[in-house]
């Protein structure tokens, strides 16, 4: 067994949901989601069609805070704008997989990226959902990931529904003109799946060293617990090598897993390395 960190296992598990069908739109630079798409495209899903910023049909890129956008264009076959993208991908039912995260998520597949507390006078005003409200409903698969699985994030009912899967079961989705596909939630503890409207999320797997009761105790909504819960697959040496050496050598994915005071110095460290590499080209 190779040593790995939890963000690496999560990246590999999200990557497993990326396939060769449909289009993945990446939106803003969310390192774990980006790393997952790149890993999939370098391994089992070479034909995955990626759109990042306005770069359509991207090659896999190395992740960096300042370079993700520029690199997206370097290997892309086409440049669009936001309206062409939503008309040609989201609304045209070509959206395959998009991984989102949110401040709150509930057992119906709803996300809250708007407000904690009253909407008009919130305790915490959150960033807003951008296209997430439509994306999680329209895309074939809804993937949600959470680096900190706890009952304040995975709640019984979100305080405000920024967006939701709306129809969950394959038949209900097809009848509504939507692509059939599940909701897959990947956290630092487990993988949860929902594929029927009237059934709760079930625990698909727990990560190595995590017991089922810990997952149940840390989830604010009802879970179905199968008699046998398998263990989530660990990253392979090949996956770890790609992630560490080719996709994310600066360590951007880990940034979202660093908390408190260390967070800023961790970010500064990455940015220093990015600066130094660029500055070396100038002198």
Partner 1 sequence: MSSSRTNGKVVPLESLGELVRDGESVAFGGGWFANHPMAAVRQLIRAGRTGIHAITVVGSVDMDLMAAAGTLGHLSFSMVTLEAFGLAPNVRRGIESGSLPFTEYTGLGLLIGLEAQGRGMPYLPYRGPFGSDIPARYPEIYATTNCPFTGEQLTAVRALQPDVAIVHALRADAEGNAQWDGTSGPDVEMAKAAKRVIVTCEEVVDRRVIVENAHMTKLPGYYVDAVIEAPFGAHPTSHVPRYAMDAWELMDYAAAAGDPEAIAEYVARIRNETEEGYRERVLKGRDKVLGALVDAAEVIEGAQA
Instruction: Work out how close the CB of 246 gets to partner 1 at its nearest, in angstroms, rounded to a whole number.
Output: 5
Residue closer to partner 1 by CB (options 102, 205) is 102
**159 vs 110: CA distance, rounded Å:** 10
CA proximity to 65, closest of 240, 243, 250: 250
Distance from chain centroid for Cα 275: 27
Residue closer to partner 1 by CB (options 10, 110) is 110
Residue closer to partner 1 by CB (options 10, 270) is 270
Instruction: Work out how close the CB of 38 gets to partner 1 at its nearest, in angstroms, rounded to a whole number.
Output: 7
Residue closer to partner 1 by CB (options 164, 232) is 164
**33 vs 144: CA distance, rounded Å:** 10
CB count in 10 Å sphere of residue 252: 23
Instruction: Work out how close the CB of 48 gets to partner 1 at its nearest, in angstroms, rounded to a whole number.
Output: 11
Its sign, for the CA torsion 148, 165, 163, 49, is positive
CA proximity to 244, closest of 48, 1, 7: 7
Its sign, for the CA torsion 184, 185, 191, 196, is negative
Q: Tokens 């963000």 sit at which residue?
A: 7
Instruction: Work out how close the CB of 24 gets to partner 1 at its nearest, in angstroms, rounded to a whole number.
Output: 16
Instruction: Work out how close the CB of 138 gets to partner 1 at its nearest, in angstroms, rounded to a whole number.
Output: 7
Residue closer to partner 1 by CB (options 124, 227) is 124
- Can you read off the two tokens belonging to residue 273? 């390395």
């Amino acid at each position: 067994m190779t040593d790995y960190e939890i963000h690496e296992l999560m990246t590999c598990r999200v990557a497993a949901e990326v396939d060769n069908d449909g289009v993945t739109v990446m939106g803003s630079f969310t390192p774990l989601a980006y790393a997952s798409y790149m890993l999939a495209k370098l391994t089992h899903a070479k034909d995955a069609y990626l759109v990042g910023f306005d770069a359509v049909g991207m090659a896999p890129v190395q992740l960096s805070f300042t370079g993700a956008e520029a690199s997206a264009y370097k290997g892309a076959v086409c440049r669009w704008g936001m309206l062409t993208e939503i008309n040609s991908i989201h609304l045209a039912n070509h959206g395959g997989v998009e991984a989102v995260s949110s401040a709150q998520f509930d057992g119906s597949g709803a996300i809250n990226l708007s407000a904690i507390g009253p909407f008009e006078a919130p305790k915490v005003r959150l960033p807003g959902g951008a296209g997430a409200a439509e994306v999680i409903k329209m895309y074939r698969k809804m993937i949600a990931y959470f680096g900190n699985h706890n009952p304040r994030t995975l709640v019984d009912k979100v305080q405000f529904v920024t967006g939701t899967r709306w129809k969950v079961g394959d038949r209900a989705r097809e009848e509504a003109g939507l692509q059939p596909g599940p909701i897959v939630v990947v956290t630092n503890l487990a993988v949860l799946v929902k594929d029927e409207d009237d059934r709760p999320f079930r625990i698909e797997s727990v990560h190595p060293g995590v017991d089922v009761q810990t997952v149940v105790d840390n989830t604010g909504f009802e879970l179905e617990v199968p008699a046998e819960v398998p263990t989530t697959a660990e990253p392979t040496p090949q996956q770890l090598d790609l992630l560490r050496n080719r996709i994310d050598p600066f360590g951007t994915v880990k940034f979202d897993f660093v908390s408190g005071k260390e967070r800023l110095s961790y970010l500064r460290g990455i940015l220093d390395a990015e600066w130094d590499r660029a500055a070396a080209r100038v002198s």
